Copies of this chain bind each other. A is one copy, B any other.
């Protein structure tokens, strides 16, 4: 085989091994070079939102924390997941494009990303296009104490939880064999996704309670 042909036929690392990925180009960045910038950028964003929201004395600490979460998860949905949902050929990217690298790396834990599984693309597309902008609206709604603040947060949480259910159940039904190693399975597939199971559950329960309390207060007022 000539050098040119060999260059076009990079062997991919993904499972199942017989996955056909023509023109696949391997990762340029190391795991550290991919994960660290995401963590640092997220930390900077959270710090910024925390400090900015602190200048307004009427916002409670819980609400400030929620604003940090919604800004972080909203930008993750729009930038990271938005790139994946609308870039079918990211694995052919010939330059060290950061977002393509993220998904080449993540696909090691779930090759359905690189093989463009319809359920994964659908869940990510809904998350990026609907929930992403809604998260940023939630930051604004909390800061400006809108009456729709809790119902909006509740709606986004349900969307995130439904997305996780679709994501994990379809993988299970399709054989749950998309990860190159237990490390990737537990670190990325389970570990990196678990905040989006735990936190939306907590926020959804809180919003549910706040909404019920508002109706109870309204009822009390009417019966007075």
Interface residues of A (CB under 8 A from B): 116, 118-119, 121-123, 125-126, 147-151, 154-155, 158-159, 162-163, 165-166, 169-170, 173-174, 208, 211-219, 221
7 interchain residue pairs of minimum CB distance: A147-B215, A119-B119, A118-B173, A118-B170, A214-B214, A122-B169, A147-B212
Contacts of A150 in B (CB 8 A): 211, 215
Q: Which residue of B lies closest to A216 (CB)?
A: B147
Alpha-carbon separation in the docked complex, A163 to B116 (Å): 20
Determine if A212 and B119 form an interchain contact, defined as CB atoms under 8 angstroms apart. no
**Bound complex: CA of A166 vs CA of B147, how far in Å?**
30
Tell me whether B221 and A169 are in contact (CB under 8 A): no
**Shortest CB–CB separation between residue A79 and chain B, in angstroms?**
21
Report Cα–Cα, A203/B174, bound state, in Å.
34
Q: How far is the CA of A218 from the CA of B213 in the complex (A)?
A: 10
Residues of B within 8 A of A154 (CB): 151, 154-155
Complex Cα gap A125–B119 (Å): 14
Give the distance in Å from the alpha carbon of A150 to the alpha carbon of B219 in the complex.
14
A212 and B148 contacting across the interface, CB-CB below 8 Å: yes
List residues of chain B with CB within 8 A of the CB of A148: 208, 211-212, 215
**Are B212 and A151 in contact, CB atoms less than 8 angstroms apart?**
yes
Query: Which residue of B has the minimal Cβ distance to A121?
Result: B173
Contact between B217 and A221 (Cβ–Cβ < 8 Å)? yes
A163 to B165 alpha-carbon distance, docked (Å) = 11
Check A122/B166 contact, CB under 8 A, given A147-B219, A212-B147, A215-B147: yes
B173-A122 in contact (CB<8A): yes
Does B215 contact A123, Cβ atoms closer than 8 Å?
A: no
Besides A122-B173, A221-B221, 10 more A-B contacts (Cβ < 8 Å) are: A118-B170, A118-B174, A122-B165, A125-B169, A126-B162, A147-B216, A147-B219, A154-B154, A158-B159, A214-B215
